[in-house]
A and B are shown apart, each in its own frame.
Chain A
């Protein structure tokens, strides 16, 4: 029986093998790794469909955890091992200097389209003249607020952090007295990870406390403005923000907000479309504004975020992979992404697109915010960025959870960073 079936199968196998050889060599199957928030993973198929139809290739999304620190660790392992299983990587805006040696230089392939994008984004992805990755979307966080509650209490959208503290407190107390026991004033990302670096950098910068390490490489974090900023943030814990905010990442904060349990939320633009979705408890009750300022003079600061696509130099299908990267960064794909997920385009012209303005009103308003966004110090500190960021978020997390005062922790941080800097970054 066994022998019979094997003989019977032989022509079938042969035919299948020959068929495989006869197929056009161009039909590659690509693998794309990306972490994501919201519904990005579900929307990916829809996003790449036009490219798949046009090129005949197929692409499979390999989803990763939402924490960008976790993604980075996994990518570094794969790249150090030279894996051929992954062709394209979705990379955070801060990774280009650290991972540049593993990726294909895209400056030649993309020379016709780089002019369409914001120059600052292209610059952030260029290391030593090499274009490491192409931008997919950019990010600058927003202050989400409950318009209905602000109106009910006759309050303006807060312009400074101090005003936000006061308004949040007032509404929280009022609503709780009215029986909304689970309502909190302000939710944000306080878990000890890259997201806290973004949040804290915004407080410090908007108070006029610099950006941790300045672009010339000097460690600037230990100053009175930064201390004041962290002291204000620490005062939120347990008063207007739940103690659990110290374990929140983007999605946990959105969970509290979208179930109608927060007056204010600091989050990235992706949360806009989801908060306006049919299953959202805050649908039609909220709006967004730029983040508050430290004071009238210092202005507000938003951390520059954003994601890019890079082609692995270990990929065996580089031609198709570069083509996909060009498509994903194109105005066509960026528009789809804006409409599907509410992500901010990096193609300048899309900010004037009427269809996008209609579907995601946030986007045209965000051009200004984005233009003033503050970058994390990944440029000046180069390969030590992760350690700098980790030391910074640890110092902030300690301060917020009451382990030492802001002044002590920042002084220690300055010492650590100066040690880390050694003779140069």
Chain B
């Protein structure tokens, strides 16, 4: 008598066979990921330890950590440090990126939550509003950035015109030009664009919350604000955390919006922008590769810290 689960004695068990089958089903995707993610990443990291230039991609020589940090003693005895880690432009970019990410994701989460709560309520024409609110997210970034560049234009922009007519500002503001407002301009556009995405992810979480909990709360006469903080928020927390991670990953490597809206302003240059600038514009490919590698490391640290702090259940084990 044989156990049907264990299979034939000596042969692979059903479990083993299932795992093998699963591997073969996953193999094409793993291969694709290897080609488009793992290989370029490994190559970038390798480039960062060489002196490769764009015009000579295959002739780079190993230079160790020189692109990150190197020390040279001049003949006068003065010691100079070189490399990305002592490059003030790089640290300015890091600070810009972190500031941008924290502020934009913060606003997007709060606004997204509000929008999601509104959309979760029953009202007439809800399907239409749900579709309409996704429009900013659906417009390609390059188009929305150009569109906003015109609206933010200091002389012909509609934004200055409205604010002037309302008497909120005394004179036209050069949104994208002046260093004080450049970051604000970028933040406005990013928040406008990405809040719908946040709202959608949170809405999905909200719809998982069982309705009877709310009914019970209503019968008990609990204040809606208390219901939100005691019932809704804890229940959608996993969805919220995942949404924030997604956005954070996206925000830390922001490139397109800034490249179009304020390309060379040192007030908004992010890590991706400065790394591209070194790779392409300045013909310092390896130096840019070192910055890309650091960007990757910083994102990895950020996400690990966030997962660890929030104990986010990305594997879905807790739902079993």
- List A residues at the B interface (Cβ < 8 Å): 67, 69-70, 72-73, 76-77, 80, 98, 101-102, 182, 190-193, 242-248, 252, 255-256, 261, 383-384, 386-387, 390, 393-394, 397-398, 401-403
Contact = CB atoms under 8 A, between A and B. Distances in A.
Given A101-B55, A243-B172, 16 more contacts: A67-B263, A76-B280, A191-B264, A193-B264, A243-B173, A244-B174, A245-B174, A247-B176, A247-B177, A383-B283, A386-B282, A387-B281, A387-B282, A390-B277, A393-B264, A403-B179
28 contacts: A67-B263, A73-B276, A76-B54, A76-B280, A77-B54, A80-B54, A182-B155, A190-B177, A191-B177, A191-B264, A192-B263, A192-B266, A193-B263, A243-B178, A244-B153, A244-B154, A245-B174, A246-B177, A247-B154, A255-B156, A383-B283, A386-B281, A387-B284, A390-B282, A394-B266, A401-B177, A401-B179, A403-B179
Contacts of B282: 384, 386-387, 390
B178 A246 contact: yes
B184 interface: no
Contacts, number: 89
Interface in B253-285: 262-266, 276-277, 280-284
B177 A244 contact: yes
Contacts of B57: 80
A256 B155 contact: yes
Closest 4 CB pairs of A and B: A244-B154, A247-B177, A244-B174, A192-B264
Nearest to A79: B55
B178 A69 contact: no
Interface in B161-181: 172-174, 176-179
A91 to B, nearest CB: 15
Q: Secondary structure at chain B's binding surface: helix, strand, loop or mixed?
A: loop
Given A244-B155, A246-B178, A401-B179, A98 B266 contact: no
B122 to A, nearest CB: 46
B81 to A, nearest CB: 11
Contact of A386 (B154, B176, B283): B283
Q: Secondary structure at chain A's binding surface: helix, strand, loop or mixed?
A: helix
B266 A243 contact: no
B71 to A, nearest CB: 14
Interface in B142-162: 153-156
Contacts of A390: 264, 277, 281-282
A261 B155 contact: yes
B172 A69 contact: no
A102 B282 CA distance: 17
Given A191-B264, A242-B172, A73 B177 contact: no
A387 B53 CA distance: 14
A16 B183 CA distance: 57
Contacts of B266: 192, 394, 397-398
A192 B265 contact: yes
A253 to B, nearest CB: 10
A244 B172 contact: yes
A72 B153 CA distance: 25
A246 B266 CA distance: 13
Contacts of A101: 55
B174 A246 contact: yes
Nearest to B154: A244
Interface in B53-83: 54-55, 57
A61 to B, nearest CB: 21
Contact of B177 (A69, A243, A403): A243
B199 to A, nearest CB: 32
B154 A242 contact: yes
A394 B174 CA distance: 18
A256 B155 CA distance: 7
